[in-house]
Amino acid sequence: MVDLDTRVQFLKGVGEARAKTLAKQGIFSVGDLLRNYPRAYEDWNNVTSIRDAGINESVCLKAVIAERPAVVRINGGKMLVKTAIADGTDYMHIVFFNNKYVKDQLIENEEYLFFGKISQDKYGAKTMLSPRFEKSPEKQRIRPVYKATSALSSKTVERLTENALREIKGNIPEIIPDYVIKKYKLMGFEDALRTVHFPETEKDLSLAKRRLIFEELLLLQMGLLSEKSTGGSRVSKPVEKDFSEEFYRTLPFEPTNAQKRAVSEAIDDMQKRKPMNRLLQGDVGSGKTAVAAALMYSAMRNGFQSALMAPTEVLANQHYKTLVNFFGEDIKVELLTGSVTAKNKRLIRERLESGESFIVVGTHAIIQNDVAFKNLGLVITDEQHRFGVGQRANLSAKGENPHTLVMSATPIPRTLAMMIYGDLDISVLDELPKGRQPVKTYCVPTSYHERIYKFLRKNIASGRQCYIVCPLVEESDSDLVPATEYYDYLKSTYFTDCTLGLLHGQMKPKQKDEVMRRFYAGEIDLLVSTVVIEVGVDVPNATVMVIENAERFGLSQLHQLRGRIGRGTEESTCVLLSDAQNDEAKERFDIMCKTTDGFEIAKKDLELRGPGDFFGSRQHGLPDMRVANLMTDTRILYEAQKTAKEIVDGDMVLSEEEKSALEKEVNKLFVRVSMN
């Protein structure tokens, strides 16, 4: 009998080949398939006439095929199928691109339902391009729309989901305790699953979503609370005295109030016997490294060693140089990365194990088995979302429950962060150091290319460095600008007398590190790159960034990219290049041009995209939100938090069966995150 754990390949209509395609979408079991919720819905209940259908509206039409479908060959050997439909109020052409089957599927004088967006042809007449269609049924319905790929259409996923619900009927166990379902008037799990995929009405869909959102947030909060309660039983060695003021006096600048507040919050934690577990989040350029240095200094003056782990050698090198500048010659800072010679690695390991060295900066080389510490008291990870859970745990295991600080440049609205990070205390750097110039941002169409190239050359001639960011590495069927070809083009045309560099994700780590080293050293004038520079090194001399096809990037990603410039005291400029005319792209560009406040941008990004893209498991070690929206579902989140606390604290009486069902789902959710 089929259940939620049944491998999807044994489901009717799947088989081994399609199971491999589904696996690429993260669908391995029937349960995964049923939790692959629709990304949108089409209301086929609401039929509009051709006469009343508005331009740019997505509508459902009931009409008869008025002309036999005709195949037309166009440039490049591609084909289109043209036909016309009529519904008694008007007559309209519809066009299908590269669909050789549609001419046999649409039969003249037969009635069909068509769903799509109304547009205009060159003569101003209404038309529909590649609409979804089906033979006119006796009863219309709300249709689910799933994420589709070239190998897996939305219609195929819809059919497989129908099969799964038919075969599993009556065999879907309830997850949420009966008491909670009654208290919050929640729909049952099986009913919610059926309804979210195939709703009868908008009201039914709303109730199903509420149930699934509650469940998702309940499991999330239970997992986070469980992790925090486990951490609470650990004991660490407290830092006796705060030496941060002594450290500030050695600096050539005055720390911001936000930096001092973050240091104070962390020191308060470190003076307790419970290990600190704190997230330091701050906008790009807000001075997180100076906060880390203040904590390392206090730890060192109290006799503890500190380790700072960065995801790349270039970033580790940057932190190393910054700390050496902060501490001077009095405090030895070690650098341990893969490119350090075997002899030097051995000497560094000896100094760390003997306690001669108090501070080490490095990459994952720090967590190798042969690296040991005498008295590791503070562990810091930078851009922590780029390390696996296991790597962070391995670093902490080098000491006896050391205090932990994780740093992130992805700003999250504070109230939202407090709700999400049930397992971390939070410090926020919400002001920039003095002297920093805000980056001026402009959005222009691609017709400005010539002017932009002149602007880049002018900056390079004055001794500055520049970035050009592309969304793709290599050419594809799309009209996007590929980095590799663009690099060759610029090198042979507009910038023949300049030194250009190319950086993208398909390069080997050593190649990437070498390019960034050369750019950092000023050996490269113009760096053509993909988003691999999103989290990168500070190059104060880089003052201009041009982002091609800017509509392809989310708001927060655009902001992170922009954060690579404006690191010095010189005025910097970011140019967003795009011909996109849709409302969402315009809204994103408008926000980017108006503000450089990362927290405001993050808030808007959450509103525009929802948390699915913003809070991926890769970002913060959190499970993906499949249906919950952390910006709009705050009331349900509070209810779920309250329920989770009652359950974890043992204040709610549950049967063994109910406990087991919840624990199984929480473990499943957080094991998947650990695997990421």
- Is 357 within the bounds of a domain? yes
500 lies in a domain? yes
Identify the domain boundary among 381, 397, 429.
429
- Output the domain CATH number for residue 273: 3.40.50.300
Contact 409, 563 (CB under 8 A): yes
Residues 34 and 59 occupy one common structural domain:
no
Examine the domain organization and report whether 395 and 265 are in the same domain: yes
Q: Is residue 620 part of a domain?
A: no
**Residue 618, domain member (yes or no):** no
Rounded-to-integer distance, Cα 644 and Cα 149, Å? 37
333's tokens: 């800072």
Examine the domain organization and report whether 449 and 318 are in the same domain: no
Q: Do 18 and 77 share a domain, yes or no?
A: no
Dist CA 311 CA 623 (whole Å): 21
Same domain, 29 and 133: no
Residue 662 lies in a domain: no
Q: Let me know whether 305 and 395 are in one domain.
A: yes
| Strand ranges for 421-488 from DSSP E | 425-429, 440-444, 465-469
Supply the pLDDT for residue 408.
80
Q: Is residue 278 part of a domain?
A: yes
266 falls within a domain: yes
For 325-353, the pLDDT digits (tens) are: 999 888 889 999 988 999 999 999 999 99
- Return the DSSP state at 472: B
Q: pTM, whole model, 2 decimals?
A: 0.61
Point out the residues of the chain with pLDDT beneath 50: 385, 388-389, 476-478, 611-621, 673-676
Q: Strands 403-408 and 359-362, how do they pair?
A: unpaired
Do 384 and 494 share a domain, yes or no? no
Our measurement of the distance from residue 604's CA atom to the centroid of its chain's CA atoms, rounded to an integer in Å, reads 15
Give me the pLDDT at residue 283, please: 76
Question: Domain check: are 407 and 479 in the same one?
Answer: no
Q: Which of 545, 572, 595 is the last residue of a domain?
A: 595
Does one domain contain both 391 and 461? no
Please compute, for residue 670, the number of CA atoms within 13 A of its CA located in the half-sphere on the CB side.
19
Whether residue 386 is found in the same domain as residue 502: no
Same domain as 412, residue 449: no
Contact, 525 vs 465, CB < 8 A? yes
Number of structural domains (the chain) is 4
Indicate whether 132 belongs to any domain.
yes
Q: Give, in order, the Cα–Cα distances in Å from 19 to each of 11, 16, 23, 33, 152.
A: 9, 5, 6, 11, 11
Q: Mark whether 419 and 448 lie in a shared domain.
A: no
The CATH number of residue 1's host domain is 1.10.150
Q: Would strands 465-469 and 500-503 be described as parallel, antiparallel, or unpaired?
A: unpaired
CA-based nearest residue to 279, from 384, 394, 361: 384
The domain of 164 spans 1-40+152-169
DSSP-assigned letters across all residues of 303-336: T-EEEEE-SSHHHHHHHHHHHHHHHTTSS-EEEE
Q: List C-alpha distances in Å: 616 to 214, 385, 611.
A: 19, 10, 8
Q: Which of 531, 560, 595 corresponds to the end of one domain? A: 595
